[in-house]
Structure 1
Amino acid sequence: MTTSELYRAPRPTISFELYPPRTPRGEEQVHETAARLAAGEADYFSVTYGASGTTSERSQALVEHLLAETRVPVIAHLTCVGRSRSQLRDVVSGLLDAGVRDFLALRGDPPEGGEWSPGGDGLARACDLVALIREVEAERFGLPPASPVERLVARRTRRDGVSIAVAAYPGYTVPGLSGEFQVRDDELTALRAKQDAGADFAITQVFFDVEAYVALQRAARAAGIVLPLVPGVLPLTDPDRIRRLCALNRIPEPAELLAELEAAGGPEEAYALGVRRTADLVRGVLAAGAPGLHLYTFNQHAAVTRLLDEVLAPA
C-alpha cells in the first residue's frame, strides 16, 4: 500500500516529518522519536532532503532505517536542485531498490547564499520531477493511468507502483487590503501542473490561521485541482522556531501569537499555551474537511504527542 491510499480512510490520517541527523546523538534522538511515534498514531513518516541533495546519503540511511525498523510507510523527499536528469533517475531507482514506494517531489532551494539554476539537463520545476518519477515507475512497474481520477481508481486494484506527494502553499493576507486570505495565481498554476504531471496529494507549507487553509481549498477546487490537501502543522510552542520558519518560507510572522507566547508567565505556561493554540488550529482545519495532518516534529516527539493528546481528549 502506498501513502496516497491512506486518504481513502474513514478517519483523518496522522503523519510526521523527520530530518536526517547530523551527529551520533542526533541519530539516537530521531530513532527514539520514530520508534515512539510508530508505536502510536503514525500513518506515515516523511524524511527531508537538504538543499542540492546535501543530506542525500543521510536521508536515504534514515529512510532505510525506518523501513527496516518500523511498519510505517516512509515518504522520501526529493528535490530538483543540484542533480542532472540522469542523476535524479538513478536516485529514484536506488530508492525503489531500497523499498521506497512514496516520494515528495520538490523543486528545492539552492544552498545558502547560492543562486537557483537547473543547469545542464537538470529539472526546473517540481512538476518535471513528478513526471520523471512517473517515467521511472512506468519502466519498473508498467505504465500508470494518465489522469488523476484514473490513477485513484487504479490504486484500488493494484498494489505496486508509487505514490507522489507535492507541496502546496496556503493563503496569505495582503497588508492594507481587506485582510482576506488569498492564494497566489502562480502557486495555483504550479500546483495544477504538479497534479497534471501525476501527483497524488499535496502537503501544505506552514500556516497559522484556519482561513489560510480554507482559502487554499477554495482556490484549488476552483482551479480544477482535485488532490487531497493535507495541512502541514507546526507545534506553535517555540517563538524562535516560528520566526525562523517564517523567514525561511517568506511568510508574515503571527504577531499576536508570538506576543502571547512571550507574555506567558514562564516556559511551561508558554508551552501549554502554544499546544492549545495549535490544537485549536488542528480542530479548525479538520472541521474544514482536511483529510489528515502532517506534523513537523523537528525530530522530537514530546510536542506532537502532547498536541495529539490535546486534540483527541474528550470535550
Structure 2
Amino acid sequence: MRGNLAPTRLSASAPLDSPEEAFQSTPSQRRRGTRTALSFELIPPRHGADTALLDELIAGLAAYNPDYVAVTSSMRSDWLEGTSALIERVASTTDLRPIAHLACTAGTKAELEGWIRELIDVGVRGFLALRGDLQPGQTALPEGYLQHATDLLNLINEVQEEQAFHLAAGKLALSVACYPSGHAESKNFDEDLDVLLAKQRLGADFAITQLFFDAADYLEFVDVARLAGVRIPLIPGIMPMTSLKRVQRMGELSGLEVPKTVVEKLSAAGTPEEEYEVGMELSAELARTILRAGTGGLHVYTHNNLAVTRDLLGRIGIQQP
C-alpha cells in the first residue's frame, strides 16, 4: 500500500481549480446510480488454436455488452498480425468495439505507422499506446524505434489527422497505461505522475491501470493524480487470481512484489480447488472495494478464460443483461 502518496507535490501543469473542484473527480465523489462500465482484455490465440473455442469466448464476453475490448499483441501470435486478425474477427462477428494494444517494441516507427493504418482499416477505433517491455539487459530500444509511449501518441495523432475522413468525428480513442503501485523503472511516484500528465496533454482520453493487489493503492493513486491535474478516467485493471503460481508470475512480469498477505492466504489452501476459491474471493473483494468507493468501472484481464471471467463478475454482482 502506498501510504506516502498524500504529501506528493502538485504538478506545475495542474489546472488552477478550487479545492472543491479538484476533489469532484475522485472515486468517492463520483455520481451514484450510473451503470458500471465494463471492458475486457483479449489475447490473440496461437496459430492452430480452436476457432470454435475462440468464437465461444468472443460471444460470451459480448453477452455482457462491454464498452470495449482491448486486444493485446505478443510474439506468440506474430505481434500485430495476430492483433489485426483477431480484431477483424471480432468486428465481423459482433458489435463489440475493439481497441488495439500498440507497443513501441512491436516495430520501427515506419512499421508502426503502417500498422496503425492497417488496424484502422480492419475496424480499430482506438489504441492503447505502450512502450512495451525491454529485453533483459536492454536500456533502450534499437535505433529507428520509438523510445516512449509519448512518442507513440504523437505518431498516432499524426496518422489520425490524415485518416480523419475514415473515422467517426475524426477521432480515435487514445488510451495509455498507468501504475498505481509505481512503474518499475520510475525514480519515484512524482515521475509517474509527470509521465501520466504528459500523456494527457498529448491527447490520451483514458488510462488503464497495470496490475495492483491492494484497493488502497488504486484509490490513493486516483486521489493524488486528481490533485496533480490528471482529469482523464483511470480505469482499474483487475486480474482474477486463480493460483499462487499465476499471481507470482504476473507480479514478476509487472515488476511488483506480491503482498505477503496474498501469498500467505493462497499458500494456506490445501487443494487446487481451495486455492482457486481463495484467490477468486480475494479478486472479487478487491473489485467490490473499488466499486463501493464509487469507481465507475472495471477492466478485466480475462486471459481468454470465459468461465473464470464469468465467475469473477458473478461474485461482484455483474450479470449478463
Report the TM-score when normalising by structure 2: 0.81
Which of 167, 189, 194 does residue 189 from structure 1 map onto? 194
Matched with 2:61 is 37
Post-superposition shift, 1:34?
1.6
1:221 corresponds to = 226
Between the aligned partners of 1:119 and 1:313, the Cα distance in structure 2 is: 44
Q: Distance in 2 between matches of 1:313 and 1:39?
A: 12
1:148 alignment counterpart = none
Task: Tell me which residue corresponds to 1:255.
Answer: 260
Judge conservation of contact 2:160–2:170 (CA < 8 Å) in 1. Answer: no
CA deviations on 1:76-103 (whole Å, 9 max, x unpaired) are 0001125222222111111111121011
Q: 1:135 aligns with which of 153, 158, 163?
A: 158
State the partner residue of 1:311. Answer: 316
C-alpha separation between the residues in 1 aligned to 2:218 and 2:67? 22
Rate the CA distance shift 1:72–1:267 in 2: closer, same or farther, 3 A.
same
Cα separation, 1, equivalents of 2:217 and 2:276:
23
Paired residues for 1:160-179 under 5 Å: 160-171=170-181
SS in 2 for 1:236: coil
Query: Which segments of 5 or more consecutive residues in structure 1 lack a partner in the other structure?
Result: 1-6, 145-157, 173-182
- Comparing 65-74 with 284-293, greater Cα deviation is found at 284-293
The count of corresponding residues between Structure 1 and Structure 2 is 284
Task: Provide the residue aligned with 2:94 in structure 1.
Answer: 70
Q: Which residue is 1:22 aligned to?
A: 46
Aligned partner of residue 229 in structure 2, secondary structure: coil
Q: How far is the alpha carbon of 1:116 from its aligned partner?
A: 4.5
Question: Does residue 56 of structure 2 align to residue 46 of structure 1?
Answer: no
Q: Distance in 1 between matches of 2:61 and 2:76?
A: 29
Match of 1:230 among 232, 235, 250: 235
Larger deviation, residues 8-17 vs 94-103: 8-17
Once residues 312 and 106 of structure 2 are traced to their aligned partners in structure 1, the CA distance between those partners, rounded to angstroms, is 37
Question: Closer, same or farther in 2 for the Cα pair 1:313/1:301, shift >3 Å?
Answer: closer
Over the aligned positions, Cα root-mean-square deviation in angstroms equals 2.7
Quick one: higher RCO (CA 8 Å, sep 6+), 1 or 2? 2
| Moved beyond 6 Å, runs of 4+ | none
* 1:287 to partner: Cα distance: 2.3
Q: Is 1:59 matched up with 2:64? A: no
3-state DSSP of counterpart to 2:49? helix
- Using the alignment, how far apart are the partners of 1:53 and 1:115 within structure 2? 23
Deviation at 1:28, TM superposition (A): 4.2
Q: 2:208 aligns with which of 200, 203, 206?
A: 203
**SS in structure 2 at match of 1:10:** coil
User: Does the CA-based 8 Å contact 1:30-1:300 persist in structure 2?
Assistant: no
CA distance in 1, matches of 2:270, 2:144: 56
Aligned residue for 1:247, secondary structure, equals helix
Identity %: 39
Letter in 1 for 2:73: Y
Alignment partners' CA distance in 1, 2:83 and 2:243: 25
Q: Which amino acid aligns with 1:212?
A: D
2:179 counterpart letter in structure 1: Y
> Offset at 1:226?
0.6
Instruction: Report the secondary structure of 2:204's partner residue.
Output: coil
2:145 corresponds to 1:122: yes
Q: Unpaired segments of 5 or more residues in structure 2?
A: 1-29, 183-187
Residue 290 of structure 1, CA deviation = 2.1
| Aligned partner letter, 1:237 | T
User: Is 1:96–2:106 an aligned residue pair?
Assistant: no
